[in-house]
Chains A and B, each alone.
Chain A
Amino acid sequence: GQQVMQIPQYQHVQEGEDFTTYCNSSTTLSNIQWYKQRPGGHPVFLIQLVKSGEVKKQKRLTFQFGEAKKNSSLHITATQTTDVGTYFCAGFNSNTGKLIFGQGTTLQVKP
């Protein structure tokens, strides 16, 4: 069945360092979404990418969707302690109608 893999599982960085998480799908996706879950909280929608090769920015966050629409990445520039949490990608396949989440990357930022 459809699988979405995300790496790394954990990342510890010093405040000010950059951070990247990668997402790969076993099937071509209709769109990909990114969510952030703070410790003890629930996932919160960050962004959706739809077009092949699409790049979107939100302040220090840069999201990319691969040309083949099977992979995506989230890059955070100059991390801050407020960036702490788990970042999930979620791939939507219109053929199956399922939104499948990756395992998530948990980011720890040391001040």
Chain B
Amino acid sequence: DSGVTQTPKHLITATGQRVTLRCSPRSGDLSVYWYQQSLDQGLQFLIQYYNGEERAKGNILERFSAQQFPDLHSELNLSSLELGDSALYFCASSINPGTGNEKLFFGSGTQLSVL
């Protein structure tokens, strides 16, 4: 158990809909990362937050947005869903990003299926 909690584990929805994925980082970790993993694909970096502020942005679509709340949990919002958005979405947390110690602890992921 990495200590990172993601909910829900599975999500099935239809095209055009909007969903919210939730992540609670490990106790003490200030930074949260979101990654997308499609079938047979690597981990595509979406966005990173540190202590409530956006720290780095990757290939995140305009239809997607995220935020980190004062209690450090994070939510990833996916809207106007398309079939191609079906993927495994991972959240990860770390202690000290940017200090040379960016070891990530991953949650179990949310499997999103858009039908």
Contacts and interface: CB of A to CB of B under 8 A. Distances in A.
B98 A97 contact: yes
Q: Is the interface of A mostly helix, strand, loop or mixed?
A: strand
A48 B31 CA distance: 18
B97 interface: yes
A88 interface: yes
Interface string B7-29: 00000000000000000000000
Nearest to A100: B45
Interface residues of A, number: 25
Interface string B82-93: 000000001010
A110 B103 CA distance: 31
B43 A50 contact: no
B2 A42 contact: yes
B108 to A, nearest CB: 5
Interface residues of B, number: 26
Contacts of B58: 98, 100
A45 B104 contact: yes
Interface stretch (A12-20, A52-60, A68-76, A101-109): A101-109
A97 B57 CA distance: 9
A30 B43 contact: no
Given A31-B100, A42-B107, A48-B101, A98 B42 contact: no
Nearest to B6: A42
Given A45-B103, A45-B104, A97 B41 contact: no
Given A48-B101, A98-B48, 16 more contacts: A6-B42, A31-B100, A33-B103, A33-B104, A41-B108, A42-B107, A43-B92, A43-B104, A43-B106, A88-B42, A88-B43, A97-B98, A98-B45, A99-B102, A101-B35, A101-B42
